[in-house]
Amino acid sequence: MSVFTNPQDAHFWIFIALVVFAIILWRAKVPGMATKALDDAAAKVQAQLDEAQRLREEAEALLAQVKVQRADTERAAADMLKAAQADAERLRAAAAVKLEEDIKRSADLATRKIAIAEAAATSEVKAAAADLAAQAAEAVLAARLAASGADPLIDSGLAGLAKGLARDEGRPGR
Protein backbone atom coordinates (compact mmCIF):
# COMPACT_ATOMS: atom_id res chain seq x y z
CA MET A 1 0.00 0.00 0.00
CA SER A 2 0.91 3.52 -0.60
CA VAL A 3 1.73 6.03 2.07
CA PHE A 4 -0.87 8.42 0.67
CA THR A 5 -3.73 5.90 0.92
CA ASN A 6 -3.13 4.41 4.35
CA PRO A 7 -4.79 6.43 7.14
CA GLN A 8 -2.74 4.52 9.68
CA ASP A 9 0.50 6.04 8.43
CA ALA A 10 1.70 9.38 9.84
CA HIS A 11 2.85 10.50 6.42
CA PHE A 12 -0.74 10.31 5.21
CA TRP A 13 -1.91 12.78 7.85
CA ILE A 14 1.04 15.04 7.18
CA PHE A 15 0.09 14.99 3.50
CA ILE A 16 -3.58 15.79 4.30
CA ALA A 17 -2.53 18.61 6.67
CA LEU A 18 -0.31 20.01 3.95
CA VAL A 19 -3.12 19.90 1.37
CA VAL A 20 -5.57 21.52 3.83
CA PHE A 21 -2.97 24.17 4.71
CA ALA A 22 -2.41 24.89 1.00
CA ILE A 23 -6.22 25.20 0.44
CA ILE A 24 -6.54 27.56 3.43
CA LEU A 25 -3.68 29.70 2.12
CA TRP A 26 -5.23 29.72 -1.34
CA ARG A 27 -8.68 30.66 0.00
CA ALA A 28 -7.15 33.42 2.15
CA LYS A 29 -5.51 34.73 -1.04
CA VAL A 30 -2.04 34.40 0.46
CA PRO A 31 -0.44 33.66 -2.90
CA GLY A 32 -1.87 36.94 -4.25
CA MET A 33 -0.59 38.82 -1.23
CA ALA A 34 2.80 37.15 -1.60
CA THR A 35 2.83 37.98 -5.28
CA LYS A 36 1.81 41.55 -4.49
CA ALA A 37 4.50 41.81 -1.79
CA LEU A 38 7.08 40.45 -4.22
CA ASP A 39 5.84 42.79 -6.93
CA ASP A 40 6.02 45.75 -4.51
CA ALA A 41 9.53 44.72 -3.47
CA ALA A 42 10.48 44.35 -7.14
CA ALA A 43 8.99 47.78 -7.90
CA LYS A 44 10.89 49.27 -4.95
CA VAL A 45 14.13 47.65 -6.15
CA GLN A 46 13.42 48.82 -9.71
CA ALA A 47 12.81 52.38 -8.42
CA GLN A 48 16.10 52.24 -6.52
CA LEU A 49 17.85 50.95 -9.64
CA ASP A 50 16.28 53.74 -11.72
CA GLU A 51 17.32 56.30 -9.12
CA ALA A 52 20.83 54.86 -9.06
CA GLN A 53 20.96 55.02 -12.87
CA ARG A 54 19.74 58.64 -12.83
CA LEU A 55 22.31 59.54 -10.16
CA ARG A 56 25.03 57.82 -12.16
CA GLU A 57 24.07 59.77 -15.29
CA GLU A 58 24.07 63.01 -13.27
CA ALA A 59 27.47 62.12 -11.82
CA GLU A 60 28.85 61.37 -15.29
CA ALA A 61 27.47 64.66 -16.61
CA LEU A 62 28.96 66.49 -13.62
CA LEU A 63 32.28 64.71 -14.14
CA ALA A 64 32.29 65.72 -17.82
CA GLN A 65 31.49 69.30 -16.81
CA VAL A 66 34.28 69.30 -14.23
CA LYS A 67 36.71 67.93 -16.83
CA VAL A 68 35.73 70.69 -19.24
CA GLN A 69 36.11 73.31 -16.50
CA ARG A 70 39.48 71.86 -15.54
CA ALA A 71 40.65 71.98 -19.15
CA ASP A 72 39.40 75.58 -19.44
CA THR A 73 41.13 76.49 -16.19
CA GLU A 74 44.39 74.87 -17.28
CA ARG A 75 44.15 76.67 -20.62
CA ALA A 76 43.47 79.98 -18.84
CA ALA A 77 46.39 79.36 -16.46
CA ALA A 78 48.68 78.61 -19.41
CA ASP A 79 47.51 81.80 -21.14
CA MET A 80 48.07 83.80 -17.96
CA LEU A 81 51.55 82.31 -17.60
CA LYS A 82 52.40 83.18 -21.21
CA ALA A 83 51.08 86.72 -20.72
CA ALA A 84 53.08 87.08 -17.50
CA GLN A 85 56.21 85.85 -19.23
CA ALA A 86 55.63 88.27 -22.12
CA ASP A 87 55.07 91.12 -19.65
CA ALA A 88 58.22 90.17 -17.75
CA GLU A 89 60.22 90.11 -20.98
CA ARG A 90 58.77 93.45 -22.06
CA LEU A 91 59.54 94.96 -18.64
CA ARG A 92 63.07 93.52 -18.73
CA ALA A 93 63.65 95.05 -22.17
CA ALA A 94 62.23 98.40 -21.02
CA ALA A 95 64.41 98.31 -17.91
CA ALA A 96 67.49 97.52 -20.03
CA VAL A 97 66.73 100.47 -22.34
CA LYS A 98 66.13 102.76 -19.36
CA LEU A 99 69.34 101.58 -17.69
CA GLU A 100 71.25 102.22 -20.90
CA GLU A 101 69.74 105.70 -21.15
CA ASP A 102 70.59 106.38 -17.49
CA ILE A 103 74.17 105.21 -18.02
CA LYS A 104 74.48 107.41 -21.12
CA ARG A 105 72.97 110.38 -19.25
CA SER A 106 75.36 109.79 -16.32
CA ALA A 107 78.32 109.55 -18.69
CA ASP A 108 77.27 112.80 -20.41
CA LEU A 109 76.86 114.49 -17.02
CA ALA A 110 80.28 113.23 -15.90
CA THR A 111 81.82 114.48 -19.18
CA ARG A 112 80.24 117.91 -18.64
CA LYS A 113 81.43 118.02 -15.02
CA ILE A 114 84.93 117.07 -16.16
CA ALA A 115 84.85 119.79 -18.82
CA ILE A 116 83.67 122.33 -16.23
CA ALA A 117 86.38 121.19 -13.80
CA GLU A 118 88.99 121.42 -16.57
CA ALA A 119 87.82 124.93 -17.45
CA ALA A 120 87.90 125.93 -13.77
CA ALA A 121 91.36 124.40 -13.33
CA THR A 122 92.60 126.12 -16.49
CA SER A 123 91.18 129.42 -15.23
CA GLU A 124 92.82 128.91 -11.84
CA VAL A 125 96.14 128.01 -13.49
CA LYS A 126 95.91 131.11 -15.72
CA ALA A 127 95.04 133.29 -12.72
CA ALA A 128 97.89 131.79 -10.70
CA ALA A 129 100.28 132.27 -13.65
CA ALA A 130 99.11 135.88 -14.08
CA ASP A 131 99.53 136.47 -10.33
CA LEU A 132 102.95 134.89 -10.40
CA ALA A 133 103.93 136.94 -13.45
CA ALA A 134 102.69 140.11 -11.76
CA GLN A 135 104.63 139.28 -8.62
CA ALA A 136 107.73 138.53 -10.67
CA ALA A 137 107.31 141.75 -12.65
CA GLU A 138 106.80 143.68 -9.41
CA ALA A 139 109.89 142.06 -7.92
CA VAL A 140 111.93 142.85 -11.04
CA LEU A 141 110.67 146.41 -11.18
CA ALA A 142 111.19 146.87 -7.46
CA ALA A 143 114.74 145.58 -7.79
CA ARG A 144 115.42 147.94 -10.71
CA LEU A 145 113.89 150.86 -8.92
CA ALA A 146 115.77 150.14 -5.75
CA ALA A 147 118.95 150.10 -7.76
CA SER A 148 118.12 153.31 -9.57
CA GLY A 149 116.66 155.20 -6.67
CA ALA A 150 113.24 155.77 -5.28
CA ASP A 151 110.79 157.77 -7.33
CA PRO A 152 107.46 158.52 -5.60
CA LEU A 153 105.55 158.66 -8.90
CA ILE A 154 106.74 155.22 -9.96
CA ASP A 155 106.02 153.82 -6.49
CA SER A 156 102.42 155.04 -6.60
CA GLY A 157 102.00 153.64 -10.18
CA LEU A 158 103.29 150.23 -9.08
CA ALA A 159 100.97 150.21 -6.08
CA GLY A 160 98.00 151.03 -8.41
CA LEU A 161 99.12 148.29 -10.80
CA ALA A 162 99.27 145.75 -7.93
CA LYS A 163 95.75 146.74 -6.78
CA GLY A 164 94.40 146.43 -10.36
CA LEU A 165 95.98 143.00 -10.76
CA ALA A 166 94.56 141.92 -7.42
CA ARG A 167 91.07 142.97 -8.61
CA ASP A 168 91.48 141.12 -11.93
CA GLU A 169 92.40 137.90 -10.12
CA GLY A 170 88.87 137.71 -8.70
CA ARG A 171 87.32 137.82 -12.20
CA PRO A 172 86.76 134.51 -13.99
CA GLY A 173 88.34 133.84 -17.39
CA ARG A 174 91.65 135.50 -16.63
In a domain, 174, yes or no: no
Domain that holds residue 156: 10-169
Q: CB–CB of 127/169 below 8 Å?
A: yes
> CA 98 to CA 91: how far, in whole Å?
10
Residue 67 lies in a domain: yes
The pair phi, psi for residue 171, each rounded to 5°, is -85, 140
pLDDT at site 167: 75
Query: Is residue 101 a part of any domain in this protein?
Result: yes
The pLDDT tens digits for 7-43 are: 888 888 898 999 998 888 888 887 788 888 999 999 9
Closest CA to 119 of 111, 59, 16, 86: 111
The tally of domains found in the chain comes to 1
d(CA 91, CA 88): 5
pLDDT attached to residue 162: 78
Please report whether residue 96 resides in a domain: yes
CB under 8 A, 24+ apart: contacts of 68-73: none
d(CA 24, CA 27) in angstroms, rounded, equals: 5
User: Averaged over 151-172, what is the pLDDT?
Assistant: 73
Percent of the chain's residues with pLDDT above 90: 52
pLDDT digits (tens, 9 = 90+) for 73-84: 999 999 999 999
Residue 3 lies in a domain: no
Residue 97 in any domain: the answer is yes
How distant, in Å, are the alpha carbons of 25, 56, 58, 128, 163 from that of 174?
Answer: 144, 102, 99, 9, 16
Please give the average per-residue pLDDT across 119-135, as a whole number.
89
49 versus 29: the higher-pLDDT residue is 49
Give the pLDDT confidence score for residue 130 in this predicted structure.
87
- How does the average pLDDT of the chain come out, rounded? 87
5 is a domain residue: no
7: DSSP letter: T
Mean pLDDT of 98-105: 94
- Would the pTM of this model clear 0.75, i.e. be above it? no
The answer to whether 89 and 139 have CB atoms below 8 angstroms apart is no
